Amino acid sequence: MARVSSLLSFCLTLLILFHGYAAQQGQQGQQFPNECQLDQLNALEPSHVLKSEAGRIEVWDHHAPQLRCSGVSFARYIIESKGLYLPSFFNTAKLSFVAKGRGLMGKVIPGCAETFQDSSEFQPRFEGQGQSQRFRDMHQKVEHIRSGDTIATTPGVAQWFYNDGQQPLVIVSVFDLASHQNQLDRNPRPFYLAGNNPQGQVWLQGREQQPQKNIFNGFGPEVIAQALKIDLQTAQQLQNQDDNRGNIVRVQGPFGVIRPPLRGQRPQEEEEEEGRHGRHGNGLEETICSARCTDNLDDPSRADVYKPQLGYISTLNSYDLPILRFIRLSALRGSIRQNAMVLPQWNANANAILYVTDGEAQIQIVNDNGNRVFDGQVSQGQLIAVPQGFSVVKRATSNRFQWVEFKTNANAQINTLAGRTSVLRGLPLEVITNGFQISPEEARRVKFNTLETTLTHSSGPASYGMPRVAAA
């Protein structure tokens, strides 16, 4: 009898859990019904701007249908010279690309040691110690960043940036709202450790805007004073009550963080040692504390596809940067010359967010119904989403067209419609002949005429209407 009672209790528990899960799925379905049934795509620009003392943050509306379908949000950070983006963290994984400029970046990974010290004799003074040395700093890793760097950031990791150059530092970031690591709703939520944002939380469109303050502001000053063992006045200062500089502040005087020298300024033996180990480093990178999180995509010498007359394409996935396996994102960098064309292709296992860093291009995108959902020009500073399976073709219409794509898979794969490795090349001639009702000779031309794999030369706007492809 007891066994039957236990079995009934177990079945009842499973039934309750099933109904709860079904209700949750139904609620999500009502919130985003058919969110990827897209009949039209648009080149998007920022919908909100957060102004600060030394820069601004431009935010795209993540409720736009194509971004909602992709499960991401997007932002652009413009940091002026000597501007410091104050430390913050997000509820989502983030992949960033340095579109312009140079600077410094630091992260604080929970549980990791402060491996950057200004002296080997550093000895912190603890309570109860006798004579102490002059205070010296120690902190977690600081990296130099430059144009072309792609930076992976895990959820909950505090990050800051500083512009030590003369030109603006421009960083674009994609946030994976649909990630399994985001345990909140599908909204990007920045948590600021310092500074205040008088303009409010514009990341959450539709919610009543109130000034966004830093985390310390929510605690009582006495709690902060006790936790950090500081006086009450200093604790109140951490709350930034009267600070209206925003989240990007201007540094007064030198910015004296501990940093390694730039490449080319180090002793020759250090650079030779790095060359022997390669850019992937050594076994230290097996831990999360020392894992590499940055790689540069602007070097044509490491391109996956390169044609001097046409341009190059470089990809970054978890085989190149293992941390991407954890955040489940990857990136692609493209740079092509005028009238160069990227052959029609689709993403087999990922959505893609295409952001234009320079120049202009004509793009066509086709959905699952065989309808052209986008046919227009994209230019610098705009973005467009290319959902999974949607076919896309790009043709540069300016002297040079450069873009970056963020993809929602650590190892995104593409299939092509034309070229030596295309789906048509893999089909038997009989399938092409009967499928399109064309002659065997026409089927051979369809299958074998295009010899390139990715990049080819287009004869201009008319080439979209004429199936003529010239060899590179």
Q: Residue 469 — very low, low, confident or very high, per pLDDT cuts 50/70/90?
A: very low
Residue 26 lies in a domain: no
Side-chain half-sphere of 451: how many Cα atoms within 13 Å?
3
Q: Are 379 and 360 in contact (CB under 8 A)?
A: yes
Q: Which residue in this structure is represented by tokens 């491996």? A: 115
Mean pLDDT on 347-369: 97
Mean pLDDT on 25-43: 65
* High-pLDDT (> 70) share of the chain, %: 78
The tens digit of pLDDT for each residue in 376-399 reads: 999 999 999 999 999 999 999 999
CA torsion angle 44 404 464 377 (round to 10): 30
Does residue 254 have a pLDDT over 90?
no
SS3 sequence, 317-359?
A: CCCCCCCHHHHCCEEEEEEEECCEEEEEEEECCCCEEEEEEEC
**For 261, which DSSP code?**
P
Ranking 40-54, 61-75, 114-128, 218-232 by mean pLDDT, the lowest is: 114-128
Residue 331 lies in a domain: yes
The tens digit of pLDDT for each residue in 313-330 reads: 999 999 999 999 999 999
Mean pLDDT on 338-364: 97
For residues 231 and 107, membership in a common domain is answered with yes
Ranking 70-79, 211-220, 405-414 by mean pLDDT, the lowest is: 211-220
Amino acid letter at 164?
Answer: D
pLDDT at residue number 255: 81
**For 158, which DSSP code?**
E
Amino acid letter at 379?
Answer: S
For residues 235 and 301, membership in a common domain is answered with no
pLDDT at residue number 36: 84
In sequence order, what are the residues at sequence separation of 6 or more whose Cβ sits closer than 8 angstroms to the Cβ of residue 179?
71, 92, 93, 155, 327, 328
Residue 279 lies in a domain: no
For residues 341 and 450, membership in a common domain is answered with yes
For residues 321 and 247, membership in a common domain is answered with no
Residue 20 lies in a domain: no
For residues 87 and 201, membership in a common domain is answered with yes
Does residue 157 have a pLDDT over 80?
yes
- Say if residue 13 is exposed, middle or buried (CB neighbours under 10 Å; 0-12, 13-18, 19+): exposed
Give just the sign of the alpha carbon dihedral 454, 456, 461, 462: negative
Q: Are 211 and 244 in contact (CB under 8 A)?
A: no
pLDDT at residue number 24: 39
The tens digit of pLDDT for each residue in 286-309 reads: 577 778 899 999 988 889 999 999
For residues 309 and 161, membership in a common domain is answered with no
The tens digit of pLDDT for each residue in 223-253 reads: 999 999 999 999 888 888 788 888 999 999 8
For residues 410 and 305, membership in a common domain is answered with yes
* Cα 432 versus chain centre, distance: 39
Per the model's pLDDT, the better-predicted residue between 10 and 71 turns out to be 71
For residues 319 and 188, membership in a common domain is answered with no
For residues 300 and 250, membership in a common domain is answered with no
Query: How far, in Å, CA of 366 to CA of 364, rounded?
Result: 7
pLDDT at residue number 217: 87
* Cα 61 versus chain centre, distance: 16
Q: Which residues of 67-86 are buried (b: 16+ CB within 10 A; e: fewer)?
A: bbbbbbbbbbbbbbbbbbbb
Residue 269 lies in a domain: no
- 119: tokens are 């002296």
Please choose, from the candidates 418, 453, 447, the residue with its C-alpha nearest in 3D space to the C-alpha of residue 432: 447
**What global pTM score does this model have?**
0.82
CATH number at residue 191: 2.60.120.10
Q: Are 407 and 324 in contact (CB under 8 A)?
A: no
Residue 27 lies in a domain: no
Residue 421 lies in a domain: yes
Q: Chain-wide mean pLDDT for the chain?
A: 83
How many domains does the chain fold into? Answer: 2
| Residue ranges with strand state E in 229-388 | 248-250, 294-296, 305-307, 311-316, 330-337, 340-347, 352-358, 360-366, 372-379, 383-386
CA distances from 245 to 42, 161, 267, 316, 319 (A): 34, 16, 40, 36, 41
Residue 104 lies in a domain: yes
Q: Residue 362 — very low, low, confident or very high, per pLDDT cuts 50/70/90?
A: very high
For residues 245 and 298, membership in a common domain is answered with no
> 338 lies in which domain range?
293-457
Give just the sign of the alpha carbon dihedral 208, 213, 218, 220: negative
- Give the domain-ending residue among 239, 262, 285: 262
pLDDT at residue number 423: 95
pLDDT at residue number 463: 44
What residues pair up with 411 in beta bridges, in sequence order?
Answer: none
**For 208, which DSSP code?**
P
Does residue 407 have a pLDDT over 70?
yes
For residues 173 and 312, membership in a common domain is answered with no
For residues 113 and 52, membership in a common domain is answered with yes
